[in-house]
Amino acid sequence: MTTPRDFLLEALSPGNPPLPFEKFMEAALYHPDFGYYSTEIQNVGKHGDFSTSATLSHILGEAIAKWLKTIPPLPIIEIGAGNGALAKTILQHHSAEYHIVETSKPLKNLQQKRLNNTCQWHDSINSALQATNGAAHLLSNELVDAFPCQVLEYNGQKWQEIALELHNGNLRETTLPFSTNHPLPETPQTEQRIELHQSYHNWLQSWAPHWKQGHSLTIDYGDTLASLYYRRPQGTLRAYFQHQRLTGPKIYHHMGQQDLTADVNFTHLQLWSQQLGWKTSPLQTQQDFILQHTNPNPEDPATQFLLHPNGAGQAFKVLICKR
């Protein structure tokens, strides 16, 4: 069985080029032998590795269920369903054919235990779209941030891509040339770092031709490009290990044993969706979306957390697209 050390020694052996950070992150999260989502994650929620809005309160699921009732009825495809909490709440408030796309075996087991036979499971979105003849509403909650990202740094003249190499037996960062057509900060400071979810863009392009009809709803933490990196010279990349937030060089210390994540650049998501011919609605905050579709109990602590204007209520954004 391959270990993280084996992977790094092979990838960074003499004669091989430096390893782009995106490839490191991909292996750390999804390698079949040691990837965090493949082997390590135990649960999502109060007693799990981390919590999501859907595991903290049922109010997000209720809001999505009521939003679904405002658009034409179609099968639902949830992509990356965590422990199944969101699907369970939606199905309690909205009757629909429900499909789940899940690549993590531990999470799929949790979902099937929670949801029994109320859903159909798929290993890829193309499989789910085939089952619905290309007509479906697509849901994702905290999916984009789990995609491997490129890390870029501005050297005062141009953007460069962060990569890894071995130096005297130790892992260290280096840089590679980089160019892109995607919008980047126009007046960055020297050593400013940002993240680019190019792998998510590639994934969108891989299945977009098979999606013929429906709406997509994407919820994640992030912001528009103009605001995302304000007072964040080191970018947004971080790791979570045993409920501790790690940044800087510490993100390399527990490969395969920790979650790695970065905030979502919704300017890119809007642009990529429009380039695919989808109609995008104005970006909303999670707070605005929930209040638009529900009347939550203001005294409930979990609801207060999800709606807090200085916390999750503003940090999470909602992007709706129509095909």
The rounded Cα 5 to chain-centroid distance in angstroms is 26
Q: How confident is the prediction for the chain on average, in pLDDT? A: 93
Q: How many CA atoms lie within 13 A of 273 on its CB side?
A: 21
pTM for this prediction: 0.94
Q: Which domain holds residue 184?
A: 4-322
Please count the structural domains in the chain. Answer: 1
Q: Is the pLDDT of residue 116 over 70?
A: yes
**pLDDT for residue 115 is more than 90:** yes
Q: By C-alpha distance, which of 310, 213, 237, 286 is closest to 53?
A: 286
Q: What value does the mean pLDDT take over residues 18-44?
A: 89
pLDDT digits 0-9 by tens, 175-202: 999 999 999 998 999 999 999 999 999 9
Q: Is the dihedral of CA 127, 217, 246, 312 positive or negative?
A: negative
> 13: phi > 0 → left, psi -120 to 50 → alpha, else beta; which?
beta
- What's the CATH number where 48 sits? 3.40.50.12710
